[in-house]
Amino acid sequence: MRIAPSILSADFANLERDIREVSDADILHVDVMDGHFVPNLTLGLPVVARICQVAPMPIDVHLMIEDPDRWAVQYADAGAFSVTFHYEAATNPRQVARELRAAGARASVAIKPGTPVERALDLLDEVDMVLVMTVEPGFGGQAFMADQMSKFETLRAAVDASGADVWLQVDGGIARDTIGTVAKAGGDTFVAGSAIYHAHDRNAEVRALRDLAERAARD
Q: Which residues are catalytic?
A: 31, 171
Q: How many residues does the chain have?
A: 219
CB of 131 to Zn ion, least distance (A): 8
Q: Where are the beta strands (DSSP E) in the chain?
A: 2-5, 28-33, 59-64, 82-86, 106-111, 129-133, 167-171, 189-192
Q: Which of 21, 171, 188, 205 binds Zn ion (CB under 5 A)?
A: 171
The alpha carbon torsion through 84, 32, 209, 184 (nearest 10 deg) reads: -40
Residue 174 interaction partner, one of ligand DX5, Zn ion, none, beta carbon < 5-8 Å per kind = ligand DX5
Q: What is the largest CA-CA distance in the chain?
A: 45
Torsion-angle region of 133 (φ positive above 0: left; ψ -120 to 50: alpha; else: beta) = beta
In the bound state with ligand DX5, the residue whose beta carbon lies nearer, of 13 and 161, is 13
Task: Tell which positions 49-68 bind Zn ion, by CB under 5 A.
Answer: 62
Task: Tell which positions 78-107 bind ligand DX5, by CB under 6 A.
Answer: none
CB of 148 to ligand DX5, least distance (A): 13
Task: Tell which positions 24-43 bind ligand DX5, by CB under 6 A.
Answer: 29, 31
Query: How many Å apart are CA 80 and CA 95, to the nearest integer?
Result: 18
Instruction: Report the SS3 class of residue 67.
Output: coil
CB of 51 to ligand DX5, least distance (A): 14
- Number of residues near ligand DX5 (by CB under 6 A): 22
Q: What share of the chain is helix, strand, coil (3-state, %, to 5)?
A: 45, 20, 35
User: Interacting stretch for ligand DX5, rule CB under 6 A, among 6-14, 84-92, 94-102, 147-155?
Assistant: 6-14
Q: Which of 191, 199, 209, 212 binds ligand DX5 (CB under 6 A)?
A: 191
Angle (CA) 104 105 106, round 5°: 130
CB of 163 to ligand DX5, least distance (A): 29
What are the b/e assignments for 23-57, b being 16+ CB within 10 Å?
Answer: eebbbbbbbbbbeebbeeebbbeeebbebbeebeb
Residue 186 interaction partner, one of ligand DX5, Zn ion, none, beta carbon < 5-8 Å per kind = none
Rule CB under 6 A: say whether 194 interacts with ligand DX5.
Answer: yes
Query: How many Å apart are CA 34 and CA 41, to the nearest integer?
Result: 5
Rule CB under 5 A: say whether 128 interacts with Zn ion.
Answer: no
Residues lying near Zn ion in the complex (CB under 5 A) are found at: 31, 62, 171
Residues lying near ligand DX5 in the complex (CB under 6 A) are found at: 6, 8-9, 29, 31, 62, 135, 137-142, 171-174, 191-195
